[in-house]
Structure 1
């Protein structure tokens, strides 16, 4: 009897000790708040997988951040020798496309008011701001499910965020559709919260030069072949009625015309890389996240560059949300 009582007491002590070591959702959120206050710089490596159709696209992502508003996000698709960089400094927000020797400047507050699956402080804000966030604990992770803050969040309304218990660093983020299928997955492999930077690490011209020098020889060539892509997002009552592909002075242009209840035109253009201009092209419109890159959306158009190709959707009767959804789905399979 005494032995059984002793074993029972030991079991209760073990349970109590285990309970004491488990943090509540409130405890973790408080710790994240403190982490955000102390965050001054970081360097992060990650792998981002986009699943917009039956195939997946994988990007290696290198993220640099220096408090308060300097960012450098380098996205590279190793298989296709494609790279793009999003840069923010005192002069604005830039999107650099080395394959086209192009740079674009936006007057934008990116990334302050939108979710970004690969930015640590954005994930913390998503967790803090969602008062209905779900919380669970595994052996190695704290897991949150939150609402997203994308400008167009009807396509990607939820995300699952796994944080390492040891230091609250990001482990895995899954951004999900309304049926909770993961369309964007970010797996973090290396996080340095004590990063140091050189003076010109966020300079637009220096980063453009470095990006061009780092490109493989094939990516610097003049190959003008490209595959026409078709949006996989379907608008009820709208269908493809015309398709033209033509040679232009320095490349190829494809024009797809969609008509019906909602009509729009999708233009895709690949041109030879010219001498890089030291002056970036000023872009009007709101900066929006469309997957592996960002675009500029206005009341009647959305433009973006990806994989050495310039894209534009123009419409008089699509909403901004509809244009964003179509643009996101152009990353999917090249099917009609």
Structure 2
């Protein structure tokens, strides 16, 4: 089972301003989730690309890295339990993870000064699946006026890129889903050329039809802003966009679009998270 590790930096300001920076420890790839007065955004600085969401994030379900969300989970669970152990106050509460129903409970650790220290998210067999460790807490932090602004965050993040980013022009190794719904199979595969790149379109047919598109991406000179009706979610080791019938994400310099009108959100994520490399033999 794959394990993903991130360096996490979370900021909050009254009037519902949030900033969450996630830097993948393996790839050094950073993405930023922003909520400000204009909406909810996910920034991918390496490509100068931003998704804008029509979303209730972060209030639509549990957010393991947000203090407000965790406190709300504690207050909302009338069957919560509490214990004091090894210098910590530990709450055990129900988690609300509708896109991953196997995540059942949260263990939320506070120190004696009520600083948030750790969160463990457990599956149905009480096994930890997600663990967040909070190194520092600053409840009196002050922010510059444009700290939660999209363009400022993108400009700062891009100026901090430590190496030149390049993207592929060909799809050498395509990705294929290891999970398929019952009685569903790959019916058609096409490889097409686009301006400065390639696109592979896989059509799956059977009891549940869906289409998976993988294509090379671009690095934009001017920030690319794309509106999405959905929610930001983890897909593999990146943050993507999930709607009731589709998912969109960027991974390892490739863009993926999964259109799944016959599935629900859980099944969409099951297919998306099962992608693995299949060696290309060229052609269709």
Q: TM-score range by the shorter chain?
A: 0.7 to 0.9
Q: Which of residues 262, 265, 268 in structure 2 aligns to 1:320?
A: 265
Aligned to 2:282: none
**How much has 1:71 moved relative to structure 2?**
0.8
Q: Which of residues 285, 290, 312 in structure 1 aligns to 2:234?
A: 290
Pick the structure with more strand per residue: 2
Q: TM-score, normalised by structure 1?
A: 0.73
Q: TM-score, normalised by structure 2?
A: 0.85
Structure 1: distance between partners of 2:220 and 2:263: 34
- State how 1:83-232 maps to structure 2 within 5 Å: 83-164=30-111, 166-218=112-164, 220-224=165-169, 228-231=174-177
**How much has 1:192 moved relative to structure 2?**
1.1
Mean alpha-carbon deviation: is it higher for 310-319 or for 239-248?
239-248
1:282-312 superposed Cα distances (whole Å, 9 cap, x missing partner):
22x2214235554433342222334443222
Q: Is the 8 A contact 1:127 1:144 kept in 2?
A: yes
Pick the structure with more helix per residue: 1
Question: Does the C-alpha gap of structure 1 residues 122 and 228 become closer, same or farther in structure 2, counting only changes over 3 Å?
Answer: farther
> In the comparison of the two structures, how many residue pairs are matched?
277
- State how 1:238-253 maps to structure 2 within 5 Å: 238-240=184-186, 247-253=193-199
Question: Does the C-alpha gap of structure 1 residues 58 and 152 become closer, same or farther in structure 2, counting only changes over 3 Å?
Answer: same
**How much has 1:125 moved relative to structure 2?**
0.7
Q: Is the 8 A contact 1:133 1:146 kept in 2?
A: yes
Structure 2: distance between partners of 1:180 and 1:315: 32
Higher relative contact order (CA 8 A, sep 6+): 1
Question: Does the C-alpha gap of structure 1 residues 263 and 296 become closer, same or farther in structure 2, counting only changes over 3 Å?
Answer: same
- Residue aligned with 2:26, SS: helix
Q: Compute the RMSD of aligned alpha carbons.
A: 2.6
**How much has 1:247 moved relative to structure 2?**
4.7
Unaligned runs of 5+ in 1: 1-53
